Amino acid sequence: MTDLTPGSSKSPSLQDSGLRAEVAIVGAGLVGGTLACALAGHGIKTVLIDRLDPGVAVMPAFDGRASAVALSARRFLAAIGLWEHLAGNNEPIREIRVSDGHSPFFLHYDHADVGDEPLGFMVENRRLRLAITARMRSLGEYLTIVAPAAVAGLSQNADAVTLRLGDGRKVSASLVVSAEGREAKLRTLAGIGVTGWTYPQVAIVATIGHARPHDGIAHEHFLPAGPFAILPLPDENGTHRSSLVWTERAETAAGYLALPEAAFLAEIDARVGGFLGPLTLIGPRFSHPLGLQFAAQYGAGRLLLAGDAAHGIHPIAGQGLNLGFRDVAALTEIIVDAKQLGLDLAHPEGTARYERWRRADNLVMAGVTDVLNRLFSNDIVPVRLARDAGLGVVNRITPLKKMLMRHAMGTVGDLPRLMRGESLR
């Protein structure tokens, strides 16, 4: 396996001839890297290909985002040996408070209403990548990293799929998974179309320090430009920290990003409302355009799509990565079951099951986030009055609120076994 320390180079196993694996994964991000760990950890010989040097994605300046990991996703990460590498680098979400502008109505979730475990956990994306890297180092002969390397072509026959890399090298496998993100090249090469649209919004992301503790509470404050989320992070070097996801209109976002630090913090403080005390900015600011997209199908022959290559949603509910993890858990179960039964890893029943299993769940969440964003990202008086009344009503109906909490925790529905914390062996 290629050394995963910063500065590592191409896998030497490809220098002379093509490489053969059971599964090839293109894209070593959070979804692709996790899938590689899950498959190799279950004895599936896996090749992971990425266009970036492995050391680049773990640098602090690469990605300033943090992700909400649902309870079921935490169970999954524990089951594949990843969660242990996040000890001390995750923050339990014990409460969620949803408010709308200056309305007196709100929605309050408390984990104690549904059990002893947190609603989820906040983890910085960089820490997730470092955990994936640490787990990869223990997987020995079952995982080969090919990076940096770009895929230039794809061909399939009855027995295998072959990837041609930009420098002419080849990788062959029984099954290829594209986890390349929204601009997935393999999806285009396979002729799989995409439906979607962009939102007139940009997500401004930053990490803030604050004088008062956050007490494990995630805040989602809806403003006319879009949701403004303050998400709890672990303290670091004695500083209380939170991840900020500030959704702003596309035409004004650049102006806010260009503000001097003091003015930028003043804008944040005006939206936070002062309950965290004086604020500081930790690290750089990031911005991400927002949109929704959905692949017309999740596979073509021996190629399958996972994560943002298959579906990309608005971050309003913090569920994008959790959907990707459910893709990974479902794929791992289907592939491991096929191997244990002596079947082709890309047998048609398995690939069709993956599409049926994941498509409905992902499509529902895409629709929910789209409706929520359109409903709350405006200041139309009749709409605002109706949604505020709705928040107040839901907050008082305990059974409904508990059901919504369990959905946010990812513990309902047709879950893969790994998402339930069960073994595949």
- CATH superfamily of the 12-196+292-420 domain: FAD/NAD(P)-binding domain (3.50.50.60)
Whether the predicted pLDDT of 2 surpasses 60: no
Tens digit of pLDDT for each residue in 68-111?
999 999 999 999 999 999 999 999 999 999 999 888 888 999 99
User: Has residue 3 got a pLDDT over 90?
Assistant: no
Q: What is the per-residue pLDDT for 8?
A: 36
What's the confidence (pLDDT) of residue 384? Answer: 87
Q: 408-413: which pairs have CB atoms within 8 A and are 24 or more residues apart?
A: 408/70, 408/96, 408/109, 408/119, 408/120, 408/317, 409/70, 409/71, 409/72, 409/114, 409/117, 409/119, 409/120, 410/70, 410/71, 410/72, 410/73, 410/322, 410/326, 411/70, 411/71, 411/72, 413/361
| Under 8 Å between Cβ of 253 and 245 | no
Are 45 and 171 in contact, with CB atoms under 8 Å apart? no
**Cβ count within 10 A of residue 65:** 20
Quick: pLDDT tens for 306-358: 999 999 999 998 999 999 999 999 999 999 999 999 999 999 999 999 999 99
C-alpha span between 385 and 399 (Å, rounded): 24
What is the C-alpha to C-alpha distance for residues 63 and 357, in angstroms, rounded to an integer?
30
Domain ranges of the chain: 12-196+292-420
Mean pLDDT of the chain: 93
* CA contacts within 13 A on the Cβ side of 29: 19
Q: Which of 315, 177, 169 is nearest to 244 (CA)?
A: 315
Task: For residue 225, give the DSSP letter.
Answer: T
